[in-house]
Chain A
Amino acid sequence: MDQAICLHCEAPVSIPGEHTVVIDGKQQPICCEACEIAAQTIIDKGLLDFYRFRDDSSATVTNGSMNLKENSTANADSELARWTGYDRPALQKEFVVVNADGTRTAHLLMHGVRCAACSWLIERGIATIDGVESIAVNPVTTRTDIQWEPKRIRLSQILGQIACLGFTPYPHTEDEIERVAADERRKSLKRLIVAGLGMMQVATYAVALYAGAFQGMDPAIEKFLRLISLLVATPIVLYSGAPFFRGAWHDLQIRNPGMDVPVALAIGAAYAASVWNTLIGHGEVYFDSATMFVFLLSIARHLEMVGRHRVLGLSDALARHLPRVATRLVDGEPREVGVMELVCSDLVLVNPGQTFPADGHLEGNDVQVDEALLTGESQPILKSAGDRVVAGAVNQRIAATFRVDRVGAATSLAQINHLMMAAQKEKPPIVQIANRVASRFVTGVLLAAIVVGTIWWIIDADRAFEIVLALLVVTCPCALALATPAALTVATSVLARRGFLIRRPGALEELNRVTDIVFDKTGTLTDRNVMLRRTETFGAIDEEHALQIAAAMESRSEHPIAAAFSAIRVSLDVDQITAVPGEGLEGFVGGRLYRIGTLGFVAGLSAQSAPQLDESAQTARTVCLGDEEAIMARFELAEAARSGAAQTVAALFRSGITPMIASGDRESSVRAFAEQLGIEICHAELKPADKLLLVRKLQDAGQTIAMVGDGINDSPVLAGANISIAMGSGTSLAQHSADCVMMSENLTTLIDAFAIARQTISVVRQNLIWAVCYNIIALPLAATGMLAPWMAALGMSASSLLVTANALRLNHARRVDVVMSESTGLSHPRSSAEPA
């Protein structure tokens, strides 16, 4: 696009020169009032570095207008006034802590923080305000802690300032899951530190003792060193090692020995024998082995836990946080109530920048909402009266009213969270197998230990204990048990962060086997945007001029149809545009009155009957343009391919998966669309049952089918396919039974999913092969007495660490790089997000 780009939000500027800011004497283009306020605030505070440092690869800042009213009365003052509700003590009780010195600390989440520069901007911008003691913004979780002096400044003033910078603060109240996770993290870290520091001490004493064994040592000193080792090792074994003993006890109770049993046995036996030998004053001590074992295993456990918590945090901490207050309209009067008090059929007012507190249907005017929390898609979506809105979506520009029909746990948002939690609890078959194998393996190891111990007892009773200990430690199936779940956990979390939810355990394995992928067309390969397919002119006007007029008028509209004209650069003056809902637009372009919209509406202006249009025109979506004299042009619109569709198809071909279309639509339009995307096989005019038949036929031919559909009308075929992927609309989640839900609007996510599934399976395979090979080599070595217990501890722990680290590699799985080029010749509809 050769249009000027807004300095602040980087959206194209529709009316150059209307808004600008001055930097170093140079005028910089700004797209709208809201961005101007944000940019001016940034300049005034001397924070221009923000524009230099912000991360260009991320989506940069959200369009500033999301925080501000669209109309021209929006200004910094009204922005500040909006937050006064947060000064109410009743509300502050939920997220504000009063410190001992009289200052207060608020816990907030920031909507719109995308990178380190954003957090830097907020920190620098707010810390300079008089009365603000401290502020810290985490750029990853967007969690923000602000400490302020209530006598000098009100919280609402601080929040208003943040909003002026272009971010939306939300109160952050920790929920139970988060609290438990944070608690677990802290405890694990404490255990790790005790084990680590202690282990190092014990190891130095052990070195002294070993040296003493060779060079001779004063018996008093030797005794002293052993006692000190006992002293230091005790908290390590009893405190840091406690989870292993607890796990083993639990395993024994359910009679299903897991990896904790040999671990606890080894640690316990080594410790007990060492304590006994220390007290009686002779014999070996193994404090060094026991503590090293505890420490290294704790590291592996800690890493595994960090991976698990990433999954927890993936739904974007914001998603779990709905607003605390809502504005209920009672007889047209707005009244603030707690969200908990909302009931079905309440009429609720949602101001721009605020979050919908419940699910419901929109009433009144069209609004734009940002459903990024649910779909991962940052482009706002236009909704008109009667459309569903979901809790967690953010209202963009003009106040919306909606009728509540689902609250609390019944909302889509709550259901998504519930599904995620449920999916995590279920154990996929591949993990179940691994656990079963590990359990049998443990039983085998325990038996082997008894046999080896007995044999060595006969050969050399002195060494028997040491060898059994080494055997137990070295063959601990930790790596085996960790290999699969670690990889799956990481992969699930990575995919979820990219807008692809795995709902059925085992879906990742299945994705890896897919040979053919069947797409539904409407709603799957296409999206709600439209593009211009053909222009037809009547009378003297040429096509170029007609398009100019149409684009000029539509540039002031937020209707989805306007997107079809957004690629055309506007050079004409536009004036007095008024929208007639359901009909079109009327207004002056270059001083002449025009109408654009439905045939009847446009014909109404010139009071002329419509020109004879051919038959096909009646079915296609068309928009007419006319002035006071005649109808001048007709624009034929077509469904636009979903963003990334062509790239996805190309990438599928490259990875050897055959894409095909199965649609209920007419043959001609399906074929045209398939050609446009480069799909060779397409089946048109299919009923849902025919689609299922098609899938069955392919399956009989030995193919593994993935079906991508929009969930509801495709449900039979989704159920019939080997793996089903539903396009998540956010509203029908509870209904569809798909294995995976694609929350992202961009189809390339699918390619990501396939790529990550492939990597995951190969990581699992690597891990299992490693774990098995390791044990095959280590067992005989330990049984023949070639390994000292400390070597065993080192080897086994290194093996577990290796497996976990290998799984964590998936975290950095590269996003499939597809340039959003116009290679398919599609117009790139963006203007629905553009401020007018």
Chain B
Amino acid sequence: MNLLEARQVHLWRGEIHVLRGVSLSVAAGQCLQLTGPNGAGKSTLLRVLCGLLPAADGQILWRDADCTRDASPLQRECAYLGHLSGHKGELSALENLAYLCGLRRRCSEAELDAALQAVGLHGGAQRRPLRQLSAGQQRRVALARVILQQTPLWLLDEPIANLDVQGQELFNGLLAGHLASGGLALIATHQPLAVAEASLLRLELAA
């Protein structure tokens, strides 16, 4: 069964016709990789799907319910990771996560700690102000947030930017676990994803 479906989605930004009839359907356990040249509308498509941008035309379905006008049923089950992380440099990784995850569900300190350990942030790094961490470490905190939100749908925009080789392997492991547990993911990236061919879909957006 297809959990997420988009039918003929159109969007204009000013005079530019960014999304020209994009259709996609993703089932549980599948990963859709969005590719295309810069400016093709990969980020825009992800923002439309999670309800940040209203589509000019077309339909977005989540669990067969229409979420084009009111995206809240989809949003409750969707973790969105964009170019902006929503992190505050003055707060520690733990404090940032406690807030961002608390918006959706109650998270215990132990859960936060476990998620940060899972992305490779241990001990002191968890409690230092986030601005003292490197860009790659901050990206890892953002990934920890996506895990903690425990949603079936992941919408990720360049999740492996700034990550080192180990970080990319770590991400591939997290993604495989997510798909194996029946989750689905839409990922805008040019880097190859380590996902089994059977569950990997590709969508190329034209410039």
Is the A/B pair a real complex? no
